[in-house]
Amino acid sequence: MTKAQTQYNVTNLTAAINALRKQCQAWELGVFRTSNDELYAILQKCHLFLENLRSAPEMRSSFTKALAGLGIQTRGNTSLELKVVKAVFGKENKRIHAYVRLLQAAKKDLPKGKPLSDWIVEHGGVEEIRRKPKGGPTPAERAKSNREHAEQSLVNIDPVGSRFDPDDSLQPDSDSDYPFSVALVRVDSDGKAAVVFGTNKTTLVRAVLSEAGAKLKVREGFEKTTSKYAEKRKQRDDVLEQDDEADDDQPSWNFRDFTEEAA
């Protein structure tokens, strides 16, 4: 292939990629964003509806009867959040449970006066909130914390074997964020160990750093910190599962907030 043909192909491929990127950006800022905005608006109204129900326990029996009249079956132990989400979104499935988890988390964590939609965006979307364990970080946040801890601890830690001059396979990637590489160690029958393979692939280095950080935290007594997370988790579970006490003031229901768009 000549230089001119190569340049021609590069130009065409670049144009094709740019066209696709432009289409993707239009989708992200258009239909995709609009779709999310509409979903968050519905979830916001579900949140307000739940707040009204929580502040008026005497309305819950009426709500259950209303659900029955709509053909929506619930059990005695069905959470208030699931009842509302089933009533609004229909059939129970994984997506429905993600919305339930989000509304339960919002009950505890949404700052007073903050729009639910802003809170969802700040926390990475519905799915990221769903994945977050009660009272603790998400798996991604935990792995990141472990990597950061490993980086700080491993810089000056005593080596597990004799230091040696590494070959090219064990040189850290100059484009990586991590000044580490990964070695595969073989232990022979005589009990001696030897490095038989090395790589600086970032994904592998990240994985090993996450594992190292987790182990180092346990070794250094971070299990005490873990118990604090367990206590927070218990506190959140208590809040999510308990029945709310009735307010002394008469709650102000405003069904117009939920029905005006349907009028």
Phi, psi of 182, deg, nearest 5: -115, 135
Q: What is the widest separation between alpha-carbon atoms in the chain?
A: 84
At residue 222, the pLDDT reads: 62
- Please check the confidence at residue 90 and state whether its pLDDT lies above 70: yes
Neighbours of 101 (CB within 10 A): 21
Supply the range of the domain harboring residue 15: 10-132+240-259
- Please check the confidence at residue 32 and state whether its pLDDT lies above 70: no
Cα 160 versus chain centre, distance: 36
79 and 153 fall within a common domain: no
4 part of a folded domain: no
DSSP characters over 214-225: HHHHHHTTTHHH
Length of the chain: 263
182 and 107 fall within a common domain: no
Average pLDDT, the chain: 78
Once rounded to an integer, what is the mean pLDDT over residues 163-180?
A: 89
Confidence class for position 226, pLDDT limits 50, 70, 90: very low
Structure confidence by residue, pLDDT tens digits, 229-246: 555 555 554 544 443 333
Structure confidence by residue, pLDDT tens digits, 94-148: 788 888 999 998 998 888 888 898 898 888 888 888 877 665 666 777 888 889 9
Closest to 55 measured CA to CA, from 30, 34, 72, 80: 80
Highest averaged pLDDT of the listed ranges 3-7, 12-16, 210-214: 210-214
Counting the structural domains of the chain, the total is 2
Give the DSSP H/E element, type plus range, for residue 3: helix 3-29
Phi, psi of 194, deg, nearest 5: -145, 140
126 and 251 fall within a common domain: yes
245 and 128 fall within a common domain: yes
148 and 123 fall within a common domain: no
Q: Which residue would you say has higher pLDDT here, 113 or 20?
A: 113
67 and 25 fall within a common domain: yes
112 and 59 fall within a common domain: yes
